[in-house]
Amino acid sequence: MMFSKASKTVVLVFIALGLIFASMGCGKLKISRLQANYNFTKGNAYFKNEKYREAIDSYEKAVADNPNLGEAYQYLGESYKYLFRPGDDTPQNLQKADKALEALKKAFEIFPHNKQIIYSLADMYDKLQNFEEAEKLYLLVLQMEPTNMSNYYVVAGFYQRYSAGSSEERRDAEGRLVKTPFQKAEEMYLRRIELDPENPEGYAYAAQFYDNVKPSPIFDKAYEFHKLRLKFDPNNAQVWYSIGVNRFSKAFRLQNVLPYEERESCGKESENALKKAIEIDSNYAEPYVYLNILYRNVFVGLYPEREDLYIAEADRWQERGLELTKRAAERKRLEEELRGKR
């Protein structure tokens, strides 16, 4: 069918009007995006200066103008998180938690593979003691980056916060065996070592984990990992110092339950390790300090007939340690002064 001249004119008018309105719509969209970016930048300035309430106001304006601005949702959530006080169950405080979760979830929806956002959302659930939701997100990062060593430490640290040092077996409602947070933390450190068994850092973190178990450290497991570090770094004074502290701590903290021979063995191992650290680095102050407390708190109890001798030795180690500590502090002060003059 042929269009009349008048019909063609009407069609052209509608097309022209459509282009005008589309152009106007694009213009409004551009202005909206510019306003969103302006408020996002303004919010970042407030955030950097820890003015979180002002930052929230700017970020909320930014996402109102551009609902797809994921970074604004991310920092909106972070701002609410900084204002949230864990343990405070007042409605006002819990509202901040809800707002933080809402914004971070939106950021996660927009950027589902952004590790920083996932960790932040997991941390918010962690602050609310929502173990299950936090765990899902922490494990998601491990799935995304299974060869990134630092992720294992983050996840292990999360499990440690829920661990009371118990490795006893637990069962769920259906009677199935489940791992405790302690066991899961332990697994993370061991998996980290398996990924890179030639790296002493993994053994150091595992040793630190066992040394810091509460309420009572697992001294001998920590000791084994400290010794494994020596295979890769035998001339590291810090490793020898850690061994000395571990053996001292076992002898001192378990003095009422350890047999005499075991306390004596731990004391001697501590002494040898601390002296080895000093032999490697004579300016390392901490081993001197621990030799002082080893003699006072372990050897005097083991050998009361030599108390005067050990107290005198302790005084000498203490004096040397204090001297080195003061010297290090003076050196740090001078370095800071020099940096300030540049």
On whether the CB atoms of residues 121 and 137 are closer than 8 A, the answer is yes
In the chain the domains, ranked by start, together with CATH numbers, are: 31-145 (1.25.40.10), 235-342 (1.25.40)
Distance CA 282, CA 37 (A): 56
On whether the CB atoms of residues 248 and 293 are closer than 8 A, the answer is yes
State mean pLDDT over 303-332: 94
> And the tokens for 40?
């996002």
Distance CA 101, CA 19 (A): 41
pLDDT of amino acid 165: 52
Residue 3 has pLDDT above 80, yes or no: no
Peptide bond into 234 cis (omega under 30): no
Residue 102 has pLDDT above 80, yes or no: yes
Distance CA 265, CA 236 (A): 23
Which pLDDT band, with edges at 50, 70 and 90, does 14 fall under? very low
pLDDT of amino acid 11: 37
pLDDT of amino acid 168: 59
Read off the pLDDT of residues 253-285 as tens digits, 9 standing for 90 and up. 999 999 999 999 999 999 999 999 999 999 999
pLDDT of amino acid 28: 53
On whether the CB atoms of residues 208 and 200 are closer than 8 A, the answer is no
State mean pLDDT over 154-176: 77
Residue 276, CA distances (Å) to 13, 203, 223, 268, 299 in order: 92, 20, 16, 12, 18
Cα–Cα–Cα angle for 205, 211, 212, rounded to 5 degrees: 90
Residue 132 has pLDDT above 50, yes or no: yes
